[in-house]
Structures are given as structure tokens and as C-alpha cells.
Amino acid sequence: MKALEGIRICDFTGQLAGAGATKWLAAFGADVVRIEDPVNQGAWDILRSMPPFVDERRGFDFGGGFNNHNVEKRGITLNLRTARGKEILAELVKRSDAVTENFAAGVLEKWGFGYDQLRSLRSDIVYVSNCGFGHEGPYASFKTWGPIVQAASGLTYTSGLPDMEPAGWGYSYMDHTGGYYMAMAILLALIHRQRTGEGQWVDMACCETGLTLNGPAILDYTVNGRPLRRSGQPDGNRSEWPRMVPHGIFPAAGDDEWIAIACRDDADWARCAAVFAEPWAQEAGWSTLTTRHRDQDAIEAQVTAWSRGRDKFAMQRMFQDAGVPAAAVQKPAERVDHDPATEDLWPTAHHTKMGDVRVDGMPVRFSETNWEIRRGAPCLGEHTEEVLGEWLDMDPSEVEALREEGVV
Amino acid sequence: MSALEGVRVIELAHERGALAGKLMADMGADVVLVEPTAGAPQRTHGPFVDDVADPERSLSFWHYQTSKRGVALDWRTSAGREALHALLKRADIFLECEDPGVLAAAGFDDNALTGTNERLIHVSMTPFGPDGPRKDELATDLTLLAGGGPAWSCGYDDHALPPIAGGGQQGYAIGCHYAVMSALTALLHCELGGRGQRIDVSMHQAANVTTEMASYHWLVQQGTVQRQTGRHALEGPSMASQMECADGRHVNTGVPPRTPPEFGNLVRWLEELGLKDDLPEAVFLEMGAARDSINLSDIGVDDEVTAIFGAGREALTFIASRLSAQDFFLGAQRAGLPVGAIYAPEEAFEDPHFVARGMQVPVEHPRLGRTVLYPGAPYAFERSQWAISRPAPQLGEHTDEVLEAVGIDAAARAQLRGEGTLK
């Protein structure tokens, strides 16, 4: 039994911000059907043909990121420039629980499938759109990518060293996170529909989602009038709320090797001092948070000198054994291939052309209706005949005729 | 009507799961936060109202505990355990972040919980999951981001500087997002006729699959991405995408101009600003605009294409040197170029677009006689109401009404209070 068996999603999402959301639903058994454009060969989702690649083959069925984000979905092509293509989409919408997309605002409407049209096809349809600035408001026409969403929402600024340019996020954190909130929005709207019979539109603006992820900093501003743009901010890997010292990422032996240490309180400091086992760590003056906070620079310099020549995993063990939270900064190979805590996280999905490829799994375990990832992402139009047959009762010869007309 | 109206959630207070409870509470669930009688440790986290450290003035607690009711109950005592059982008997969702084995030792093993309530969805958030050799390792937000992968990709071109873990407790947030997606999936499953179940969320695993290319470049082609200032970590170095503007603030220029229409837009923007004649490279922009297409793989191979791409960067850098970050952001977007101002959180909060969309939400704090502006909804529902229905609870504020409703009467509560189990 799958958790979301029987839920049908008419899916126009792409990249990660949208595709990540419907990947979750598909892994729990929803029937997610990607609808792509046969004319431009699904090129709207640029990941279709982008690296990484499993071998020397290239093209729209070989993008490694696309495969990662679209496992367990099926894919059809539909030419929405044609009247027949529009008719078929209308029939698919009538049989869908939800329509999902993350185009720029207005794109689906231009094709004749805005929310009003969707609702006229199925009165209780759930429609979830996800774009950077949302479909309404002064910036509704603005375009974004993950890094721009992070910039405009405050997340880039809050990652960096004091008085330097922002370090930001070295990846599209808000594509992941926008996808998470989009998945929540779809589920919430489906729960709402299940209880009331009402469908609705959810207009997600990814920047707003990001803005909510720095709540205490915003309250410090609205309540205390203290902005985060001020000298000494952002404070790198230090922790002010809750206040912890030392708290940072320190160098370890080797090339670009690091360890994160979080000394939560005075008791942790006593444990740390035993690990450091050096005279400076025994000084009574640093046994209280007040003095450690005052002397933060000096303490970090001592920890750095101590950690620099030591193996990061050996230090992780020393601190963990002593009862202090610490973690080596793991490189991809270390956390994917050599970490016992991620052994069940990377399922192998079978892609029709690429073959068996490991992908990101789900970091959760359900006791009754767990996720399952076996099928790789759909090749372009791979399931056109199958889906039109199942959803619309078309026979193969009808689909063949549509193919000749350039509709699919 | 809210999507989760009538859904009862019991949340054991813990800073790493607080956002998960808030997300459900703001969507209308009746979330009861169970704190120890001494108060949740998060109450000691700053910043504080007027910088006065006090358990009722923690803005971290205020933000993460909106719309919840609060009960102060020491559930580890035998009397407290019974009270928690009574609460769970009527709950739909049980959200907790106790370390592996703690609940079972206190009498809340899986059998006891299902025996109590077979519809119960039990969401357990732990740093490394309930089993395996790392299950007892200690973790904080920082160590989760470091060990789980995000930090490896974030920082500066200069690798003598450490990787940077982004601010705002995103390591906890990632785990909470998966906890809520899980709870809602299980809840919809119940609505469709299914039963309750136990769900384990590994926060370390959650961080691992929130690293975009870092994981799948390794999985697919055994490539290792390298951190680069303010832009994507990639296997090889890429061009800078952050620019400092005339006012010293920064913008992110994202993907540089790469299509003929984008080069055309750039030329027009230069003309509007009256700067075109000051930029010798503008001629390459016009060449780019005039082409039928531009093949990205010709960069570095074809001289003309290389010059066109270089001129795109030059033009943006040049314009940035003349405009404030805000003017650059608005001008570029109006010219059709995807660019973002790098806002501090308060600047995003004050931006007129977000204000117009209702992101500043006033919440009454009657005890302090103040109205405080909070960040609004992460998504805009047409029908399901999102609301901060009440400010974070004071310690024990709803102990009496919540316990009364599950049959623990005044006399029983008085006895529990006398024993110090209740507040």
C-alpha cells in the first residue's frame, strides 16, 4: 500500500524548485505525469541535457540532474500550440487532482490554462504555482533563479564573514526549499479538498518562503529596531542565538579539511578543555560563557592552532566521546560512500536509457507506507501512449495518429 | 476555514523541531506544545524584547512557537507520563525530537503508542535516525550543516577561509520541512482511508539530500564540487556572479546574458541610462543581439562568441559601478535580466513587493501592550487560511484548559502541581 495511491498530478514543473516537490509525491505513490513540449524537446527544463552524465552520451534524455529530480514520474509530450493538444490537456486536467507548475508568472495562462480555465474544467482542482516573486504584486513580472531568490529573501546576506562580501549559498538552497514548501502546499490543499470538497489556487513566491527562514532576525528588527546589516555581521559560523563559544568551523590536517565544533554551555567547555588538554584551555577565566564571549577571537585562535594538525574524523570522535557536538565537514564522497548514517539514502533507479543510476532518496522512514524509488526519470515522451491509454482510454492507433499530426 | 482545522498535534518542545510545529499551527492545527515545568531551553535564546533576558521575552521562542497552545508538564515522571498518554490518546500527530531510546525508556514505545491510538501519526526527528552506529552522536544546527554536506559547498573562492554554514538555523529547518511533508503525507493517507504510523526523520540525511549538485555530481560521475564566492559550487571554477554596486551593497547577477534577446535588452538598458557611449564593449553586445543564436559551448573556442560573453559581464560590472544595488536590481529586472539585490533580512521584509503581498503580519501581544510585525505566510493559499492565531504561549498558559479537556480535573491537576509535575 502506498500513502498517496490514486492521487493524480498533471505536472508542468521543472528544474528543482518544482520537480523536487512532485518527486516527493511520486515516491509516495502519486501518479505524477510530466507534460512536456515535443517541439522544443522539453528544453524548458534545462536540466534535461545538462551535466552530470553517466557516460559519453549527451542530449535531452541524459541529464543527470533531471534524472535525480524526476524519478518515479511518467512523462508525455503534448503540443499546446495545436487545438488538439489543448483538447487533450483539458481532458487530462479533468482527471487530475492537482495541476503543478513553476513557470514564470503568466505562462500557463498564455497557453489557455490559467486558474480560471482549470477550474472551469474541474471545479475542485488544486492548482499550485511556484515562482520567485509570485503571480501578483509589483514584481510579478520579474524573473529568478535559485541564487536570485536567495539574494532577495535575505538568505545570501546571512551567510558570510563579517564585513566581507556575502558567501551566500553555494547551491540553489531555495530550489530545494521552495520544492519542500510546494510539496506541503499541494498536500495541504489536497487535505483541504478531501475535507471540504473545495479546490483552490496556491500562489507560491519562493522569495517569500525564503524570507520566513530568518524569523528571529526579523523580529529583532521589528521589535528592537536592530538591523542585521551592521558592522560585524553576518558573523560567519559563530552563534549568537543561542549564544555558544567556541562555535565554528576550524581547519584540520590535509587539503581543505575542516571540523565544526559547537560548545553549547559551560559544561561543554569543561569537556572541550579536557579534549584540548593544553594550558590555555584550563584557564579558569574561560569557564563561563560571559568571558568566552568576550574573548571569542582569542579562543578561536587557540582552537585553530590546536586543530590545524589533526585529522578531522579523529577530532570528531574525540569530541563526541567527550559529549560535545562536533562534525567533520564531509566531502561528497565521504558522506555518500563512507558514512553509515546514509547507507539507505541513495536508491538505485533504473532509467530506460542511462541504466541504473544512484539518486537522492528520502531522509525519512514510514513504518507502514514508506517511499519507494525504482524507476528513473522519464525519457521525453516515454509514457505518452501508456498514459493516454490509461487516463483517456485512447488506443495505440489513435496515439499514432496524434504523433503523425505533430500533437504528441 | 484552515486546511488543518481540528487536527490535534502534540509537540514535545525542542528547538530542532519547533519550526515543524509552527508550520502546522499557522495552517490551523491545534498544536499543544509540551514544555518542562522549568520552561523550554529555547526560552533562553536571544534576541530578547528590549534586550531584557526573560523566558517570556525570547524572540526566538516567539517566532517558532506562534499559534500554539502551551502546557508545562514533566512527562518523564510517572504521573506526568499518564498525563501525556491522555493527551496522545486524542491526538492525530505526535511530533517529538527526543534522542533515540528516550521515549521508549519513559514508557512511550511504539506498541504503547499504537495501543493508545491507532490513528496516531508519530513523527520522530533525530539527528541520525533511530538506529545505526551514529545514532547517539550529538548534533547542533552547525554540525548538521557541516557533516551533512551543505557547508562543503558554501564559502569563498579563497579556500584558506572556512566553509560557511548559512545563518538562521537552516540545518534544523531542513529537518523540519521533511517532518511536515511526512506528517501531511501520512495525514492525507489517513483521510484517504489509511491508518496512523511511525515516521522517522533523520536530520543528517535531510541535509545530505539538500545539497543539489554536490550529491548528484558524485553519484553520477564521481565529481567533487568546490565552493566559490556567492555562486554555485562546481567541479571547476566559474565566473563571479556577485557584483558590488556604487553604494557598497551587492547584487547577484545569476546566469549572465546568453541569448540574443538578452543582449538586446542589455543594450537598451545602457541606452536608457545614457551609458552606452561610455562602454567600448557595447559593440559586442550589439553583435550578440544581432545573431540568430549563440551556442554556449563556443565560449573560449569562437573568438566572437567569447567577446560577446565577456562584454555582457563588462557591461553589468560597469552599470553596477554607477547605480545603487536597489536601482541595479530594479533596472535589470525591468530590462528583462534576472538579477537580485542581496538584501539583509530586514530589507527583504521592508521591500514594497513583499509588503504589498502581505508579508508583514501584525500580532497583538496584550501582556506587553504591543503589536509586533511578524513575517507572513511562506505560501499564499486562496482558501485555506494561514494565520498567526495567537502569539507564542507563556509557560503553562494553557495547562488547565488542555488537561481539563482530556479528563484531568482540577483536583488531579492540583495534586500534579503539588508534586511539581505541572505548572
Question: Does some domain include residue A221?
Answer: no
Residues A195, A59 share a domain = yes
Mutate to test the interface with A, among B354, B361, B370, B371 (most CBs of A within 10 A): B354
Residues A315, A387 share a domain = no
pLDDT for residue B113: 87
Of B203, B231, B351, the CB nearest to A147: B231
Is there a contact between B138 and A366 if contact means CB atoms under 8 Å apart?
no
B250-252 and B340-341 beta bridge pairing = antiparallel
A285: domain range? 258-328
Grid cell 557516460 is found at A55
- In sequence order, which residues have a C-beta less than 8 Å from that of residue A332 and are 6 or more positions away? B149, B152, B211, B214, B215, B217, B218, B224, B225
pLDDT for residue B297: 80
What is the three-class DSSP state of A80? coil
Residues A291, A160 share a domain = no
User: Would you call B336 exposed, middle or buried from its count of C-beta atoms within 10 A (0-12, 13-18, 19+)?
Assistant: middle
All structural domains of chain B with their residue ranges: 8-211+356-419, 250-341
Residues A188, A87 share a domain = yes
B197-202 and B121-126 beta bridge pairing = parallel
Q: Which tens digit of pLDDT belongs to each residue from A54-105?
A: 999 999 999 999 999 999 999 999 999 999 999 999 999 999 999 999 998 8
Is there a contact between B168 and A214 if contact means CB atoms under 8 Å apart?
yes
Is there a contact between A192 and B380 if contact means CB atoms under 8 Å apart?
no
Task: State chain B's mean pLDDT as an integer.
Answer: 96
pLDDT for residue A127: 98
Instruction: Name every chain A residue with its beta carbon within 8 A of the beta carbon of B50.
Output: 223-224
- In sequence order, which residues have a C-beta less than 8 Å from that of residue A317 and are 6 or more positions away? none
DSSP for residue B366? T
Question: Does some domain include residue A250?
Answer: no
Tell me the nearest-neighbour CA distance from B412 into chain A, angstroms.
Answer: 36
pLDDT for residue B112: 85
**Domain count for chain A:** 2
Confidence of residue A235 (pLDDT cuts 50, 70, 90): very high
Q: Which tens digit of pLDDT belongs to each residue from B214-253?
A: 999 999 999 999 999 999 999 999 989 999 999 999 999 9
User: Would you call B6 exposed, middle or buried from its count of C-beta atoms within 10 A (0-12, 13-18, 19+)?
Assistant: exposed
- In sequence order, which residues have a C-beta less than 8 Å from that of residue A316 and are 6 or more positions away? A259, A326, A327, A328, B147
Task: Say whether pLDDT at B114 is over 90.
Answer: no
Tell me the nearest-neighbour CA distance from A279 into chain B, angstroms.
Answer: 26
Confidence of residue A321 (pLDDT cuts 50, 70, 90): very high
What is the three-class DSSP state of A127? strand
Residues A165, A296 share a domain = no
Instruction: State which H helix or E strand residue A8 sits in.
Output: strand A8-11
Say if CB A107 and CB A129 are below 8 A apart.
no
Tell me the nearest-neighbour CA distance from B397 into chain A, angstroms.
Answer: 22
Is there a contact between A198 and B383 if contact means CB atoms under 8 Å apart?
yes
Of the given ranges (A29-33, A189-193, B76-80, B344-348), which has the lowest mean pLDDT? Answer: B76-80
- In sequence order, which residues have a C-beta less than 8 Å from that of residue A363 and are 6 or more positions away? A345, B178, B201, B202, B203, B204, B205, B206, B208, B209
Task: Say whether pLDDT at A283 is over 90.
Answer: no
Residues A358, A274 share a domain = no
pLDDT for residue B254: 80
CB pairs under 8 A between A and B: 517
Task: Say whether pLDDT at B115 is over 90.
Answer: no
Distance, in Å, from the CA atom of B125 to the CA atom of B128, rounded to the nearest integer, reads: 9
> How many alpha carbons fall within 13 Å on the CB side of residue B155?
24
* Alpha carbon separation from A89 to A95, A117, A383 (Å, rounded): 10, 12, 15
Give the angle A212-A214-A216 at the CA atoms, nearest 5°.
110
Question: Does some domain include residue A390?
Answer: yes
Distance, in Å, from the CA atom of A290 to the CA atom of A331, rounded to the nearest integer, reads: 35
Is there a contact between A256 and B161 if contact means CB atoms under 8 Å apart?
no
Instruction: Name every chain A residue with its beta carbon within 8 A of the beta carbon of B333.
Output: 139, 141-143
Task: Say whether pLDDT at B265 is over 90.
Answer: yes
Of the candidates B220, B214, B208, B202, which has an alpha carbon nearest to the alpha carbon of residue B155? B214
In the beta sheet, which residues pair with residue B375?
B360
pLDDT for residue A105: 87
Q: Which three cell numbers stand for residue B117?
A: 491510538
Residues A324, A356 share a domain = no
Say if CB B362 and CB B373 are below 8 A apart.
yes
Residues A356, A264 share a domain = no
Residues A317, A185 share a domain = no
Is there a contact between A249 and B372 if contact means CB atoms under 8 Å apart?
no
Say if CB B161 and CB A342 are below 8 A apart.
no
Question: Does some domain include residue A48?
Answer: yes
Question: Does some domain include residue A84?
Answer: yes
Which residue among A303, A328, A353 closes a domain?
A328
Kindly report the CATH number assigned to the domain that includes residue A349. 3.40.50.10540
Question: Does some domain include residue A195?
Answer: yes
Fold of the CATH domain B8-211+356-419: Rossmann fold (3.40.50)
Confidence of residue B69 (pLDDT cuts 50, 70, 90): very high
Task: Say whether pLDDT at B333 is over 90.
Answer: yes
Residues A398, A302 share a domain = no
Task: State chain A's mean pLDDT as an integer.
Answer: 97
Residues A116, A34 share a domain = yes
Confidence of residue A163 (pLDDT cuts 50, 70, 90): confident
Grid cell 535531510 is found at B206
Residues A319, A179 share a domain = no
Question: Does some domain include residue A230?
Answer: no
Instruction: Name every chain B residue with its beta carbon within 8 A of the beta carbon of A161.
Output: 156, 161, 164
Mutate to test the interface with A, among B159, B177, B212 (most CBs of A within 10 A): B212
pLDDT for residue B298: 84
Q: What is the largest CA-CA distance in chain B?
A: 87
pLDDT for residue A383: 98
Task: Say whether pLDDT at A247 is over 90.
Answer: yes
User: Would you call A261 exposed, middle or buried from its count of C-beta atoms within 10 A (0-12, 13-18, 19+)?
Assistant: buried
Is there a contact between A184 and B177 if contact means CB atoms under 8 Å apart?
yes
Q: Which tens digit of pLDDT belongs to each residue from A127-138?
A: 999 999 999 999
% residues pLDDT > 90 (chain A): 97
The values of phi and psi at residue A272, to 5°, are -60, -45
Task: Say whether pLDDT at B415 is over 90.
Answer: yes
Instruction: Name every chain B residue with its beta carbon within 8 A of the beta carbon of A164.
Output: 156
Task: Say whether pLDDT at A146 is over 90.
Answer: no
Q: Which tens digit of pLDDT belongs to each residue from B210-222?
A: 999 999 999 999 9
Is there a contact between B182 and A366 if contact means CB atoms under 8 Å apart?
yes
The values of phi and psi at residue B370, to 5°, are -130, 150
Task: Say whether pLDDT at A166 is over 90.
Answer: yes
Of A142, A243, A330, the CB nearest to B147: A330
